[in-house]
């Protein structure tokens, strides 16, 4: 049997059943009538960009992880938690790559059939479940770093500022466990069942094809959409708390820089740039992610547009990958210790530097090699 063309896979609308039903109404009927081909092309472009971003993000985060696990960085609480964030970003990309391998005739011969072998569907469900866990875990760990950094600056004499790397590992495992339990609910809502033959969706043949394997399909439970809305709501809440913490930190740094005349403006500017870039990157990805599921539930529920809109999720997830990739570049350009670690790894000799005590207000400057607490 002929395999399904890649282009056809990218632009095909899935038929997995969910709680929205099969309404034939279109909310934007004129838009689809007049620009259907453009919409299909745009969705296919989003899918292609997501594939490229997944492979690029995986390899760049591997490099980022290799740097973060050096002894010079992993002994710092902030960088320790960043390792957890990087691992979750790697998982996010790796799961997408696993799904792609299933579609690309690498694991088995893909046939012209909407239904798939049991192991293919199970792999897709497990990958999607783990991705929900990794996305939420990554954002919560980022919020922890922002909170830790803010409290350390606002209250430098508090016990929070003295937390060690063991606390970092504990936070990583605690948040990972909570997020795993949260995503397990999504997995429990998916049912896989066997069918007699393929449904006639991807072909115009009069008789549905019979594949060489036993075909299976999946059914999503009635609470899947509720789960997605709540997951989006958590993303928006974390986003709001993150922005509040960053604003408080920026205000405190500005006030401190004005009071302490001996602190150069370059240090304050460097810190402000780091915080602003991280906040903008995080805000864009999380706001877009949360808004997507809210629009899916409260704007397009019950309309046929929703089948097309759900395919645009690849565009939203691409922004999440861009946010994760931005970490390594921002760390490299705005953290001297990260930059020096990279130079050491690639055997670039640098002039001797004076080791000084870490400042709780400003990150490492170019002239020293002190530890830098970053906000991710």
Q: Find the mean pLDDT for residues 247-269.
A: 68
How many domains are there within the chain? 1
User: 20 in a domain, yes or no?
Assistant: no
**Spatial separation of the C-alpha atoms in residues 147 and 117, rounded to whole Å:** 46
Residue 310: how many other CB atoms lie within 10 Å: 19
Q: Which residues contact 111 (CB under 8 A, 6 or more apart)?
A: 1, 3, 4, 209, 211, 212, 213
Tokens encoding 25: 């109404």
Q: 165 is in which domain, residue-wise?
A: 6-15+28-345
**C-alpha 155: how far from chain center:** 31
User: 126 in a domain, yes or no?
Assistant: yes
Residue 328: how many other CB atoms lie within 10 Å: 21
User: 328 in a domain, yes or no?
Assistant: yes
Classify the C-alpha dihedral 5-11-13-16 as positive or negative.
Answer: positive
In this predicted structure, the answer to whether residue 10 has a pLDDT above a threshold of 50 is: no
**Spatial separation of the C-alpha atoms in residues 72 and 358, rounded to whole Å:** 14
Summarize pLDDT for 308-342 with one digit per residue, the tens: 777 788 888 888 898 888 888 888 887 788 888 88
User: 372 in a domain, yes or no?
Assistant: no
Q: Lowest mean pLDDT: which of 13-17, 251-255, 345-349, 351-355?
A: 13-17
Residue appearing with tokens 């609910």? 185
Q: Both ends of the chain: CA-CA distance in Å?
A: 50
Q: Find the mean pLDDT for residues 64-87.
A: 88
Question: Predicted confidence band at 156 (pLDDT cuts at 50, 70, 90)?
Answer: confident
Answer yes or no: are the C-beta atoms of 287 and 238 closer than 8 Å: no
User: 194 in a domain, yes or no?
Assistant: yes
**Spatial separation of the C-alpha atoms in residues 334 and 268, rounded to whole Å:** 12
**Spatial separation of the C-alpha atoms in residues 98 and 82, rounded to whole Å:** 24
User: 352 in a domain, yes or no?
Assistant: no
DSSP state of 311: G
**Spatial separation of the C-alpha atoms in residues 64 and 365, rounded to whole Å:** 21
**Amino acid 103: pLDDT:** 85
Answer yes or no: are the C-beta atoms of 60 and 325 closer than 8 Å: yes
CA angle 372–374–376, rounded 5-degree value:
165
Q: Which residue has the higher pLDDT, 283 or 358?
A: 283
Tokens encoding 107: 């694991």
pTM: 0.78
In this predicted structure, the answer to whether residue 207 has a pLDDT above a threshold of 80 is: no
CA distances from 80 to 3, 75, 102, 310, 362 (A): 46, 7, 34, 35, 19
CA angle 129–135–137, rounded 5-degree value:
100
DSSP calls for 130-166: HHHHHHHHHHHHHHHHHHHHHHHHH-TTSGGGG--HH
User: 273 in a domain, yes or no?
Assistant: yes
Q: Find the mean pLDDT for residues 351-375.
A: 43
**Amino acid 273: pLDDT:** 67
**Neighbouring-strand partners of residue 220:** 190
Tokens encoding 102: 């299933």
**Amino acid 83: pLDDT:** 92
User: 356 in a domain, yes or no?
Assistant: no
**Spatial separation of the C-alpha atoms in residues 149 and 275, rounded to whole Å:** 11
Question: Predicted confidence band at 343 (pLDDT cuts at 50, 70, 90)?
Answer: confident
Q: Indicate which CATH number applies to the domain containing 135.
A: 1.20.1070.10
Burial of 204 (0-12, 13-18, 19+ CB in 10 A): exposed
Nearest to 66 by CA among 375, 370, 371, 342: 342
Classify the C-alpha dihedral 355-360-365-367 as positive or negative.
Answer: negative
């Amino acid at each position: 049997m002929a395999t399904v063309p890649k282009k056809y896979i990218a632009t095909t609308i899935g038929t997995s059943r969910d709680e929205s039903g099969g309404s034939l109404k279109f909310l934007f009927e004129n838009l689809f009538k007049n620009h259907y081909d453009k919409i299909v092309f745009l969705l296919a472009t989003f899918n292609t960009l997501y594939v490229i971003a997944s492979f690029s993000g995986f390899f760049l985060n591997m490099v980022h992880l290799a740097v973060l696990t050096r002894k010079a960085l992993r002994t710092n609480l902030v960088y320790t938690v960043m390792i957890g964030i990087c691992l979750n970003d790697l998982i996010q990309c790796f799961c997408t790559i696993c799904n792609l391998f299933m579609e690309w005739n690498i694991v088995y011969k893909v046939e012209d059939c909407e239904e798939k072998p049991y192991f293919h569907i199970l792999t897709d469900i497990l990958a999607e479940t783990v991705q929900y866990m990794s996305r939420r875990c990554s954002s919560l760990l980022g919020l922890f770093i922002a909170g830790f950094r803010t409290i350390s600056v606002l209250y430098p004499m508090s016990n929070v500022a003295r937390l060690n790397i063991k606390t970092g590992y504990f936070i990583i495992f605690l948040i990972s466990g909570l997020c795993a339990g949260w995503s397990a609910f999504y997995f429990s809502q998916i049912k896989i069942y066997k069918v007699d033959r393929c449904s006639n969706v991807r072909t115009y043949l009069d008789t549905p094809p019979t594949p060489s394997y036993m075909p299976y399909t999946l059914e999503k439970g009635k609470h899947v959409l509720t789960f997605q809305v709540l997951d989006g709501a958590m993303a928006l809440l974390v986003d709001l708390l993150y922005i509040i913490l960053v604003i408080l930190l920026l205000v405190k740094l500005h006030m401190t820089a004005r009071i302490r005349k001996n602190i150069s403006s370059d240090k304050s500017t460097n810190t402000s740039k780091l915080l602003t870039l991280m906040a903008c990157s995080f805000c864009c990805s999380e706001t877009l992610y949360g808004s997507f599921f809210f629009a899916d539930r409260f704007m397009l529920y019950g309309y046929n547009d929703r089948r097309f809109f759900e395919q645009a999720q690849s565009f939203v997830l691409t922004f999440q990958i861009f946010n994760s990739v931005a970490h390594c570049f921002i760390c490299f350009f705005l953290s001297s210790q990260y930059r020096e670690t990279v130079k050491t790894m690639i055997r670039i000799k640098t002039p001797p530097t004076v080791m000084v005590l870490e400042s709780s207000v400003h990150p490492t400057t170019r002239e020293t090699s002190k530890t830098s607490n970053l906000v991710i």
